């Protein structure tokens, strides 16, 4: 298993291209026998890359150039994302700059909620769960998972494993958010399909606020990469429910595999804009509870956006 | 002597319509007798509020219910037809901005109002923000002398604001023909109206539209206006590009006069202190069986209540609305001039 961290202060087109090449070059990939490449991005909502919420199209474009160079322009490249509870890819792709990339580079954008969908019933943590995904995850020769390096209020961390939750074909994924089902769904989809390469977009990382960190973390094992990302964000992997459940399912991460990155992780952890997860969640839940309690007792109305 | 309640109907109980529906139920001089909405989930909300008559089709609502006024909370492309039918049924109208998609529809509405002798008020609720009202009073009193320059900003995420319970943005928001325009027509409308209200008879000096999201309509705009009455120049910024989280509100008016300057940021209440004060006040009113205004604890949502209340009071007293049709015609004309005159850069 290989895992690398690279960092750059140059976020120009050339800078991003350089860090992408340097990162992917570290992996021994058989480019010649691959015809179809699927790049799974994170377009969770209509927030552009500068918010730190969605995959940076500049990174994806440099990956496309890299793949084309390695495959002598013969490979078919797909950029994929599934519809979400509040997001439709047919709007997100143009709004977030992906339509332009696709047109410029002659690659295809695919909605992973459409086309041939495979449905599977899996047993995770002793309970059954049904998940669905595009058959492109089966038919593509090489899958690159490109998650964000970001804090998330619910799980604490969203990275490789959580980005695959976004690959579930069913748009209304919010239904999994009942406690317990979300973690099982994340692990289930990662059990069903896996990426050949995970390239974490930390060019603009997201904690309390977005920060231009210029990081790219890459690895062929999503759990190992998530361990590294989690530590940078400021958590211990065992604190993250879906990572804990994934390790029960797939086996614990051998810390020797990531020990060579200890110094980098320590340094980047200091740079990352940390969130006090417990305090933030407490304040958020307290405010929400307070508004709902007040509205119930007094008979007032809750503002539409938090209803 | 108890005031006689006016009978109101509501058409379109979606995002904005729902807010008006709750407010109408809370205002003691309004009797919300009917609601119409195509969606079952929205009709269910009306059922929970015990609205007596609920319809799927607003035509049926207008034909079968005797009303003094209706509140229109429909998407922009559906407003004109509803206004027309309301006018034909002699029902007065309270409607969210913009009242129409374009000037052709606005002139059509003007003709309808005259033909059927009914009254219409556009709810430009920003006029009723407490800090805006304070500033307006100060300016009217001449506190800052003659105002030479004013800036008004309203930046948010527009229709793309992510609610707590995720649901898709309605498709019509992505369709230029149905929405009529982007940020300029949406929150730009509010700030143009504010400028024209505070510094009357605004004329267009220049405008630039931006397309950050690569959509067929603008998602940000900068407009320069000048008041023919006060000679004040205004720089107005509207945008849909910012991921601002509730309760933050990226809105302000800054005025620079011959005697100092002022900003609404300095006049607005602290959100949390205001919320706590209002919560205590309303709790005491509740136990004393007294009524209160909904959403006052957010300090800015109360503006919708004030807007609806002012419509109802002026309708009852047969007085002029605080927001005249002519002023809204001026705002729409300015927006129309910007769209017509602006040559969009190639994406």
pLDDT in tens, B257-281: 999 999 999 999 999 999 999 999 9
pLDDT digits (tens, 9 = 90+) for B110-126: 999 999 999 999 999 99
pLDDT for the residue A179: 53
pLDDT band at A294 (very low <50, low <70, confident <90, very high): very high
d(CA A193, CA A161): 11
Token reading at B316: 């009852």
Among candidate residues B121, B115, B134, the one with its CA nearest the CA of residue B92: B121
Q: Quick one: which H or E segment has residue A136? A: helix A136-139
Question: What is the mean predicted confidence (pLDDT) over B159-185?
Answer: 91
Quote the pTM value: 0.93
Q: Which two tokens mark A120?
A: 């599977």
Highest mean pLDDT among A123-127, A282-286, B226-230: B226-230
Cα(B114)–Cα(B249) distance, integer angstroms: 38
Range A79-96 average pLDDT: 97
Average pLDDT of the residues in A235-254: 94
Chain B interface, mutation test: which of A44, A46, A103, A295, most B Cβ atoms within 10 Å?
Answer: A46
Q: What would the mean pLDDT of B138-155 be, rounded to a whole number?
A: 97
> Residue A90, class by beta-carbon neighbours within 10 Å (0-12 exposed, 13-18 middle, 19+ buried)?
middle
pLDDT of A26 > 90? The answer is yes
Cα-based distances in Å from B103 to A73, A164, B323, B334: 52, 48, 18, 10
Helix axes A181-192, A241-250, angle to 10 degrees: 40
Secondary structure class of B237 (helix, strand, coil) = strand
Radius of gyration of chain B (CA): 20
Look at residue B346 in the predicted model and tell me its pLDDT.
37
Tokens for A32, please give them.
């010649």
**What digits encode the pLDDT tens for the residues A189-219?**
999 999 999 999 999 999 999 999 999 999 9
Candidates B297, B299, B303, B304: best to mutate against A (most CBs of A within 10 A) is B297
CB of A122 closer than 8 Å to CB of A131: yes
pLDDT per position as a tens digit, B302-347: 999 999 999 999 999 999 999 999 999 999 999 999 999 865 443 3
What is the distance in angstroms between the Cα of A110 and the nearest Cα belonging to chain B? 19
Burial class (CB in 10 A: 0-12, 13-18, 19+), B103: middle
Task: Kindly list the residues of chain A whose beta carbon comes within 8 Å of any beta carbon in chain B.
Answer: 45-48, 51, 53, 84-88, 91, 94-97, 99-100, 174, 288, 294, 297-301, 303-307
Q: State the Cα–Cα distance between residues B21 and B3, nearest whole angstrom.
A: 20
Range of lowest pLDDT (A169-178, B105-114, B278-287): A169-178
For the record, the structure tokens of B29 come out as 């001089």
pLDDT grade for B1, boundaries at 50, 70 and 90: low
How many angstroms away from the CA of A85 is the closest CA of chain B? 6
B286·A88 Cβ contact <8 A? no
| Rounded average pLDDT over B192-204 | 97
Least confident of A171-180, B58-67, B128-137: A171-180
Residue pointed to by tokens 């769960």:
A129
Residue A199, SS3? strand
Q: With contact defined as beta carbons under 8 Å apart, do B215 and B174 qualify? A: yes
Q: How many CA atoms lie within 13 A of B129 on its CB side?
A: 21
For residue A122, how far is the Cα from the chain centroid? 22
Q: Say whether A100 and B214 touch across the interface (CB within 8 A).
A: yes
- Residue recorded with tokens 């298993």: A1
Instruction: Give the mean model confidence (pLDDT) for residues B48-60.
Output: 96
Q: What is the dihedral of CA B194, B196, B198, B201, to 10 degrees?
A: 180
Residue B333 to residue A215: CA distance in whole angstroms: 49
| Rounded-to-integer distance, Cα B164 and Cα A284, Å | 12
Q: Please list every residue in chain A whose beta carbon sits closer than 8 Å to the beta carbon of residue B243.
A: 47, 51, 53
Those residues with Cβ within 8 angstroms of residue A2's Cβ, 6 or more apart along the chain or in another chain: A26, A27, A28, A219, A220
| Structure token pair of residue A133 | 């995904």
Question: Distance between CA A191 and CA A186 in Å, rounded?
Answer: 9
CB-based contact A143:A137 (threshold 8 Å): yes
Q: How far apart, in whole angstroms, are the C-alpha atoms of residue A193 and residue B31?
A: 57
pLDDT number for residue B345: 43
Mean pLDDT over all residues of chain B? 94
Q: Is B195 on the interface with A (CB under 8 A)?
A: no
């Amino acid at each position: 298993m290989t895992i690398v961290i690279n960092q750059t202060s140059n976020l120009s087109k050339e800078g991003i291209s350089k860090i992408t090449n340097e990162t992917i070059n570290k992996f021994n990939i058989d480019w010649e026998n691959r015809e179809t490449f699927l790049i799974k991005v994170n377009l969770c909502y209509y927030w552009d890359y500068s918010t730190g919420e969605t995959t940076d199209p500049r990174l994806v474009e440099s990956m496309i150039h890299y793949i084309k160079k390695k495959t002598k322009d013969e490979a078919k490249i797909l950029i994929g994302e599934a519809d979400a509870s509040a997001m439709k890819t047919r709007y997100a792709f143009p709004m977030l700059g992906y339509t332009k990339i696709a047109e410029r580079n002659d690659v295809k954008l695919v909605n992973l909620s459409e086309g041939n969908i495979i449905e599977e019933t899996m047993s995770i943590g002793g309970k059954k769960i049904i998940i669905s995904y595009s058959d492109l995850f089966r038919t593509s020769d090489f899958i690159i998972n490109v998650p964000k390096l970001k804090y998330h209020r619910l799980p604490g961390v969203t990275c490789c494993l959580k980005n695959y939750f976004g690959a579930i074909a069913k748009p209304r994924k919010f239904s999994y958010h009942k406690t317990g089902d979300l973690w099982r769904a994340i692990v289930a989809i990662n059990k069903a399909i896996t990426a050949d390469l995970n390239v974490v977009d930390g060019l603009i990382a997201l904690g309390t606020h977005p920060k231009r960190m210029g990081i790219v973390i890459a690895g062929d094992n999503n759990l190992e990469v998530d361990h590294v990302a989690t530590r940078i964000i400021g958590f211990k992997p065992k604190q993250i429910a879906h990572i804990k459940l994934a390790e029960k399912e797939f086996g614990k991460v051998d810390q020797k595999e990531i020990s060579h990155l200890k110094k980098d992780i320590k340094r980047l952890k200091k740079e990352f804009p940390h969130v006090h997860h417990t305090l933030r969640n407490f304040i958020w839940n307290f405010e929400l509870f307070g508004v709902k309690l007040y509205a119930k007792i007094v008979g007032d109305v809750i503002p539409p956006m938090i209803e | 002597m108890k005031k006689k309640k006016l009978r109101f109907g509501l058409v379109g109980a979606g995002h904005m319509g729902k807010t008006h529906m709750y407010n109408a139920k809370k205002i003691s001089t309004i009797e919300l007798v009917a609601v119409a909405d195509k969606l079952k989930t929205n009709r269910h909300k009306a059922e929970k509020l015990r609205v007596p008559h609920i319809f799927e089709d607003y035509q049926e609502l207008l034909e079968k219910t005797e009303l003094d006024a209706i509140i229109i909370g429909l998407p922009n492309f559906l407003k004109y037809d509803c206004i027309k039918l309301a006018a034909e049924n002699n029902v007065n109208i309270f409607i969210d901005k913009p009242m129409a998609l374009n000037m052709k529809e606005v002139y059509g509405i003007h003709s309808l109002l005259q033909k059927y002798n009914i009254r219409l008020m556009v709810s430009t609720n920003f006029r009723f923000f407490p800090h805006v009202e304070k500033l307006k009073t100060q300016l009217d009193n001449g506190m800052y002398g003659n105002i030479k320059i004013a800036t008004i900003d309203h930046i948010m995420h527009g229709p793309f604001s992510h609610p707590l319970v995720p649901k898709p943005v309605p498709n019509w928001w992505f369709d230029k023909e149905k929405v009529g325009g982007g940020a300029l027509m949406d929150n730009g409308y509010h700030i143009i109206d504010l400028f024209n209200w505070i510094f009357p008879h605004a004329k267009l000096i220049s405008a630039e539209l931006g397309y950050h999201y690569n959509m067929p309509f603008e998602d940000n705009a900068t407009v320069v206006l000048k008041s023919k009455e006060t000679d004040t120049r205004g720089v107005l910024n509207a945008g849909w590009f910012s991921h601002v989280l509730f309760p933050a509100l990226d809105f302000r008016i800054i005025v620079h006069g011959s005697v100092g300057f002022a900003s609404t940021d300095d006049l607005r209440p602290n959100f949390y202190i205001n919320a706590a004060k209002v919560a205590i006040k309303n709790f005491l009113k509740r136990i004393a069986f007294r009524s209160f205004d909904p959403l006052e604890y957010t300090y800015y949502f109360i503006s919708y209540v004030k807007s609806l209340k002012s419509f109802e009071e002026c309708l009852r007293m047969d007085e002029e609305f605080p927001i005249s049709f002519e002023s809204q015609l001026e705002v729409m004309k300015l927006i129309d001039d910007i769209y017509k005159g602006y040559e969009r850069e190639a994406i």
